[in-house]
Amino acid sequence: MGSYSGNRSYPGWPILLVILVLGAIIGGWLGEILTGLIPALRELGRVYTMGIPRFTLDLEVLTLSFGLTLRIGLFGILGMIAAFYVYRRM
């Protein structure tokens, strides 16, 4: 009979990050589909946008652009929760 030490190793944080991003993307897609099929869910499918607007620095020889926008909604968050559950089951 083996002893259970209670220690469980999970894949590293880069894998967690990829899984969470994929969960958010898939959750967002499912949210768009569901709100299109069931209009009563439209309020739950609202997406909020936040971030840094695009900033462009033109140096004539080199142009640099930077910006970051996060669009998140309830279905994206639910997708991330489901993805975290999948990560914990790995």
Residue 58, pLDDT score: 92
Q: Tokens 């089951």 appear where?
A: 89
Residue 45, pLDDT score: 87
Integer Cα distance of 31 and 45 in angstroms: 6
- Mind listing the pLDDT tens digit of every residue in the chain (90 residues)? 555 555 666 678 889 999 999 999 999 999 999 999 998 888 888 889 999 889 999 998 999 999 999 889 999 999 999 999 999 888
User: Tokens standing for 75?
Assistant: 């279905």
Residue 4, pLDDT score: 52
The answer to whether the CB of 31 falls within 8 A of the CB of 77 is no
Residue 7, pLDDT score: 61
Residue 89, pLDDT score: 86
